[in-house]
């Protein structure tokens, strides 16, 4: 076990306005007097800073010496008020880069509010002083400072086979800081469903035997990180990218994580690769991911300045990443963690598709009563002797799919039974006549048609049936939608409601605004697809009752703005509590830095899914996703005003006492596969800007159209 002195923590460094060497200082060893040699090889991930507060900011680097692998390494930090270091504010600060934490090192600079500092690290070897690149950072303004704030927010930066071109453009912005909303890394080395490695952009684990082998793409095996060494390999690779390094060198960053920092669609310490075929609970893996994130991210803890990551601590209490920041009089940034404490997805991936979740008596006795026949459908008790042939058919289908046939029991959906019988095409077994049978809600009614599935469980779920299902589950057990966990939710609400700043800004990993499609009038698709669907219930759409509850509490505060990512789509809207549409906030979603755009993901999903791929209209519907979610005839998403799902980019927020203006910078998804290094101007010329704003004192959304600001009207679905 590590000693108390060996934990990774931020050494506190107090700096002044100027530094004058004292009599006891060695003049030859002070900034500006000793000869420094470019030392990129000793600082392969360059430098970074983050979590700026009025009087502090954390700086970071990683030191590497090939001849001292496994050693703790001494390094020095220099801080100045200018890039040339002619105005030092401290003498060389001695730090220790511990091998136990991959030789990453952090320091908390304690200085003056609203001040720009320059910093660099120096590694001495054989009497030669090797220096890192120079980083620039900035503390937050004083609490009472009436100053504008300008920052960017980004999300989703897959490295494999893709270039960080949008970060090249971001580097030319004038910013106070950058918020990273998660998916900073992707845990897989080449998942063919969304990644195509090439020689220039690939991840190679030094120890693949300690990783999870997910499959093979031709002769190439692809993996998911499992060990601490695997996760470190990911950060080492990603942070070796020059465009990402430049962002860290220029701006302090405030990061949170989403799923891929650990595992796709994760909840707590659980992965979802097997879709319910076996338990994927792996606390050691989760803690390895957490430790690597802490090692490589320049995060700070104002509530616990002495926090250090302890690998022996119990999950999820090994690290707390939800925290808040103030920027003068006008910005209170609240950063949440929606992965560590959340429960499992509401619909089990391994649920028997035909199983009835709520029978007729339960539905009839519920507050909403028995739903209509398109939601609650007929069922039979499959264990009744008269249905023995049908049970036999269902059991055979289950066993053929290597599914537990003992789950074929109890009340089962007639629609499901008839669908399986028709698929097997056994003429001796007629379909069951649904007339006069009781009606209930089954997993099949939610669009779960396969034994182990993502479709109908995490994605493309029947909205109307899911709404009934989730509300009844929530009424029976609120913990089924406890996304934040009790402690975080209490902190979140107290922080927002108690804030005295003009704007309360919620940095949240995934979209709050519902994303639904209405296919009830679409021709050329099967009857069971002519429904309303949630595109995904992996995020807030899957926790709609908790979302309504939270929006009901914060929607009346006014001046609450959410910044979201994850979906690889640019969106803007005004999510509200379903029980009271006046309780609303404004949301701005940024597209992915480099990850596959949402529209392309949908197209790939349609092609690979055995059910969707058989629907001729499905590929076209995937390509028309923006039109579907913004449909003014069905009005399926009145809270959603803008959607752009086939681009990459970033967003910049400009905040004043009067308004928040958000500019979305986007570029075609195809541009991600071309390396624009050294050609930033060419890339910027291809980028498109879309401007939105919200005005203090309300929760309206405006868009700049032909030089004029138009307000989104959720009644007419028009900019007026």
117 and 139 Cβ atoms separated by less than 8 Å: yes
Inform me whether the pLDDT recorded for 4 exceeds 50: no
Inform me whether the pLDDT recorded for 91 exceeds 90: no
At 418 the pLDDT is 96
DSSP, collapsed to helix, strand or coil, labels residue 390 as helix
pLDDT digits 0-9 by tens, 226-247: 999 999 999 999 999 999 999 9
| Two tokens, residue 459 | 């994605």
Domain boundaries defined on the chain: 1-139, 144-201+208-342+564-621+639-720, 356-455
**E strand residue ranges, 439-518:** 439-442, 459-462, 503-510, 516-518
Mean pLDDT taken over the chain:
94
Other beta carbons within 10 Å of 67: 6
Res. 1 pLDDT band, cuts 50 70 90: very low
At 304 the pLDDT is 76
Alpha carbons 297 and 285: distance in angstroms, whole number: 18
Res. 3 pLDDT band, cuts 50 70 90: very low
Q: Is 711 exposed, middle or buried (0-12, 13-18, 19+ CB in 10 A)?
A: middle
| Two tokens, residue 701 | 């959304």
324: which residues sit within 8 A by CB, 6+ positions away?
A: 332, 333, 334, 335, 495
Mean pLDDT of 93-111: 95
Structure letter (DSSP) for residue 140: P
The values of phi and psi at residue 686, to 5°, are -90, -5
pLDDT digits 0-9 by tens, 181-222: 999 999 999 999 999 999 999 999 999 999 999 999 888 899
pLDDT digits 0-9 by tens, 408-455: 999 999 999 999 999 987 778 999 999 999 999 999 999 999 999 999
Alpha carbons 173 and 179: distance in angstroms, whole number: 14
Structure letter (DSSP) for residue 122: E
Which residue shows structure tokens 């199983």? 355
Res. 7 pLDDT band, cuts 50 70 90: very low
At 31 the pLDDT is 54
Closest CA to 537 of 286, 280, 267: 267
Q: Could you say which of 3.40.50.300, 3.30.1360.70, 3.30.300.30, 2.60.40.380 is the CATH number of the domain covering 1-139?
A: 2.60.40.380
Alpha carbons 220 and 161: distance in angstroms, whole number: 15
> Of all residues in the chain, what percent are helix, strand and coil, respectively (each to 5)?
25, 30, 45
pLDDT digits 0-9 by tens, 476-490: 999 999 999 999 999
> From its phi and psi, is residue 123 left (phi > 0), alpha (psi between -120 and 50) or beta?
beta
144-201+208-342+564-621+639-720 CATH: 3.60.21.70
pLDDT digits 0-9 by tens, 480-535: 999 999 999 999 999 999 999 999 999 999 999 999 999 999 988 888 899 999 99
At 617 the pLDDT is 86
Q: Which of 258-262, 613-617, 629-633 has the lowest mean pLDDT?
A: 613-617
361: which residues sit within 8 A by CB, 6+ positions away?
A: none
Predicted structure pTM score:
0.96
370: which residues sit within 8 A by CB, 6+ positions away?
A: 360, 363, 364, 376, 439
413 and 444 Cβ atoms separated by less than 8 Å: yes
At 34 the pLDDT is 86
pLDDT digits 0-9 by tens, 11-20: 777 776 555 4
Closest CA to 137 of 76, 204, 59, 205: 59
Q: Is 4 exposed, middle or buried (0-12, 13-18, 19+ CB in 10 A)?
A: exposed
Res. 346 pLDDT band, cuts 50 70 90: very high
Inform me whether the pLDDT recorded for 110 exceeds 70: yes
How far from 459 is each of 165, 444, 565, 605, CA to CA, in Å? Answer: 30, 14, 17, 10
Inform me whether the pLDDT recorded for 467 exceeds 50: yes
Beta bridge partners of 131: 38, 122
Alpha carbons 686 and 212: distance in angstroms, whole number: 39
Q: Which residues of 433-468 are buried (b: 16+ CB within 10 A; e: fewer)?
A: ebeeebbbbbbbbbbbbbbbbbbbbbbbbbbbbbbb
Mean pLDDT of 626-652: 97
């Amino acid at each position: 076990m590590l000693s108390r002195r060996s934990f990774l923590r931020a050494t506190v460094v107090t700096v002044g306005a100027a530094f004058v060497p004292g009599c006891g200082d060695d003049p030859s060893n002070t900034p500006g007097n000793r000869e420094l040699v470019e030392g990129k090889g000793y600082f392969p991930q360059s430098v970074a800073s983050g979590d700026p507060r009025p009087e502090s900011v954390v700086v970071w680097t990683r030191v590497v010496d090939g001849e001292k692998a496994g050693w703790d390494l001494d390094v020095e930090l220099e801080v100045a008020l200018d890039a040339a270091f002619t105005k030092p504010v401290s003498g060389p600060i001695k730090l220790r880069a511990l091998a136990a934490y991959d030789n990453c090192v952090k320091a908390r600079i304690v200085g003056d509010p609203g001040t720009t500092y320059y910093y660099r690290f120096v590694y001495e070897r054989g009497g030669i002083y090797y220096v890192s690149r120079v980083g620039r950072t900035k503390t937050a303004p004083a609490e009472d400072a009436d100053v504008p704030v300008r920052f960017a927010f980004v999300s989703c930066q897959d490295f494999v086979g893709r270039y960080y071109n949008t970060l090249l453009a971001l580097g030319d912005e004038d910013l106070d800081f950058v918020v990273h909303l998660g998916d900073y890394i992707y845990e897989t080395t080449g998942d063919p469903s969304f990644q195509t490695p090439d020689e220039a952009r690939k991840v190679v684990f030094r120890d693949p035997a300690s990783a999870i082998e997910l499959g093979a793409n031709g002769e190439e095996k692809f993996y998911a990180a499992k060990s601490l060494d695997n996760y470190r390999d990911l950060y080492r690779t990603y942070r070796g990218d020059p465009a990402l390094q430049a962002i860290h060198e220029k701006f302090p960053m405030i990061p949170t994580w989403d799923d891929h920092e650990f595992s796709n669609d994760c909840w707590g310490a659980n992965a979802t690769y097997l879709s319910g075929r076996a338990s994927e609970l792996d606390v050691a893996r989760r803690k390895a991911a957490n430790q690597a994130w802490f090692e490589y991210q320049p995060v700070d803890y104002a509530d616990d300045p002495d926090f250090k990551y302890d690998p022996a601590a119990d999950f999820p209490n090994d690290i707390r990443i939800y925290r808040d920041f103030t920027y003068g009089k006008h910005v209170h940034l609240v950063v949440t963690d929606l992965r560590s404490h959340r429960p499992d997805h509401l619909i089990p991936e391994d649920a028997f598709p035909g199983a009835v979740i709520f029978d007729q008596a339960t539905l009839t006795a519920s507050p909403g009563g028995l739903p209509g026949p398109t939601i609650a459908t007929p069922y039979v008790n499959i264990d009744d002797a008269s249905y023995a042939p049908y049970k036999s058919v269902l059991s055979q289908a289950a066993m053929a799919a290597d599914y537990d046939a003992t789950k074929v029991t109890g009340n089962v959906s007639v629609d499901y039974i008839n669908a399986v019988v028709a698929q097997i095409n056994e003429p001796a077994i007629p379909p069951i006549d649904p007339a006069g049978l009781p009606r209930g809600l089954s997993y099949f009614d939610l669009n779960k048609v396969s034994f182990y599935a993502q479709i109908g469980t995490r994605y493309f779920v029947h909205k109307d049936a899911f709404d009934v299902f989730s509300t009844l589950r929530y009424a029976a057990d609120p913990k089924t939608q406890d996304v934040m966990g009790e402690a975080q939710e209490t902190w979140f609400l107290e922080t927002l409601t108690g804030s005295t700043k003009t704007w309360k800004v919620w940095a949240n990993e995934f979209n709050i605004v519902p994303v639904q499609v209405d296919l009830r009038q679409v021709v050329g698709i099967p009857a069971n697809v002519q429904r309303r669907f949630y595109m995904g219930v992996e995020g807030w759409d899957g926790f709609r009752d908790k979302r309504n509850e939270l929006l009901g509490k914060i929607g009346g505060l006014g001046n609450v703005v959410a910044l979201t990512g994850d979906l690889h789509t640019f969106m803007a809207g005004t999510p509200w509590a379903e029980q009271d549409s006046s309780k609303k906030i404004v949301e701005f979603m940024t597209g992915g830095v480099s990850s596959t755009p949402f529209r392309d993901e949908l197209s790939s999903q349609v092609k690979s899914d055995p059910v969707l791929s058989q629907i001729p209209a499905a590929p076209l519907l995937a390509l028309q996703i923006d039109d579907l979610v913004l449909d003014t005839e069905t009005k399926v998403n009145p809270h959603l005003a803008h959607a752009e799902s086939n681009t990459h980019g970033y967003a910049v927020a400009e905040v004043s006492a009067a308004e928040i203006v958000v500019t979305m910078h986007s570029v075609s998804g195809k541009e991600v596969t071309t390396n624009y290094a050294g050609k930033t101007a060419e890339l910027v010329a291809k980028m498109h800007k879309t401007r939105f704003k919200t005005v203090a004192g309300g929760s309206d959304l405006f868009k700049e159209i032909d030089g004029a600001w138009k307000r989104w009207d959720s009644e007419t679905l028009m900019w007026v």
